[in-house]
Amino acid sequence: MDHDTGSLLHDALDTAETARPRTVVDFSRVTFMDSTGINILINAHRTHAQAGGWLRLAAPTGSVLRTMQIVGLDDIIDCRESLHQALGI
């Protein structure tokens, strides 16, 4: 996830017309994330929370999880080990 692919995530996380949005993003195939992805996730988390909803990340790969841990994103956004955990099943 970088400048070239970030717009796809940004558009997918747009909840402008949704009351109490609840979104789970499957990160199991994401192998790289730079500041573009971090900023998109922070903004999406903020807009979800302001609308009374939540954002969860499922199954981040090792390198992506490490990036999130370095900047403290894993303390802000709920990260689960698997998609099943993130969905609550």
Q: Is residue 11 part of a domain?
A: no
CATH code of the domain containing 64? 3.30.750.24
Residue 71: domain span:
22-87
Q: Is residue 14 part of a domain?
A: no
Q: Is residue 40 part of a domain?
A: yes
For the stretch 2-57, pLDDT in tens is: 888 889 999 999 887 888 999 999 999 999 999 999 999 999 999 999 999 999 99
For residues 19 and 52, is the Cβ–Cβ distance under 8 A? yes
Rg (alpha carbons) of the chain, rounded to whole number? 12
β-strand pairing of 22-26 with 54-58: parallel
47 is written with which tokens?
């807009």
For the chain, the domain total comes to 1
Report the predicted TM-score, pTM, of the whole model to 2 decimal places.
0.89
Q: Is residue 81 part of a domain?
A: yes
Q: Is residue 13 part of a domain?
A: no
